[in-house]
């Protein structure tokens, strides 16, 4: 081994000093560079993990909200169909009531018109009878005058 050291011209003192310098440099770099970089990398990893977790949570919330929205739309659609059905039923009932009232009014008006026509007919007949009686009296009076003359 001494021959290898002599052939290559290795100085043990210089090699030892360089090894100590390298060790000191390694300790300094490890303490002031490697640890902070690892800490920064670890913090970034945590931030990224939190971001991914928040994104997943937001995605789940969005899906939940979308499901609630769809359910609300279905509910509102069902309610609106029920309201429309009730409105149609009420409209049909009102239509039937209006038709019944119109029919009742028309019957009442027809009955009143018949009564009025009967009353008018009786009045005309009475007038005709009184006119006939007057004409008969006038005719009898004329005949009596002619006979007395």
Tokens linked to 15: 């090699």
Q: What is the pLDDT of residue 1?
A: 66
Q: What is the pLDDT of residue 148?
A: 77
Long-range contacts of 128-132, Cβ-Cβ distance < 8 Å, separation of 24 or more? none
Q: What is the pLDDT of residue 12?
A: 80
For residue 10, give the 3-state DSSP assignment.
coil
Cα end-to-end distance, the chain, whole Å: 198
Rounded to an integer, what distance in angstroms lies between the CA atom of residue 54 and that of residue 46? 12
Predicted TM-score of the model (pTM): 0.45
Q: What is the pLDDT of residue 61?
A: 96
Phi and psi at residue 55, to the nearest 5°: -65, -40
Rounded to an integer, what distance in angstroms lies between the CA atom of residue 128 and that of residue 137? 14
Query: Which residues in the chain land under pLDDT 50?
Result: none
């Amino acid at each position: 081994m001494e021959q290898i050291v002599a052939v290559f011209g290795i100085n043990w003192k210089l090699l030892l000093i360089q090894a100590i310098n390298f060790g000191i440099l390694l300790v300094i770099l490890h303490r002031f560079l490697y640890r902070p970089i690892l800490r920064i990398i670890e913090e970034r990893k945590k931030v990224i993990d939190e971001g991914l977790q928040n994104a997943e949570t937001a995605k789940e919330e969005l899906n939940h909200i979308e499901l609630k929205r769809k359910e609300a739309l279905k509910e509102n659609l069902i309610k609106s169909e029920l309201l429309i059905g009730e409105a149609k039923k009420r409209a049909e009932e009102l239509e039937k009531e209006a038709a019944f009232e119109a029919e009742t009014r028309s019957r009442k008006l027809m009955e009143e018109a018949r009564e009025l026509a009967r009353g008018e007919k009786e009045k005309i007949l009475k007038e005709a009878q009184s006119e006939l009686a007057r004409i008969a009296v006038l005719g009898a009076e004329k005949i009596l005058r002619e006979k007395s003359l």
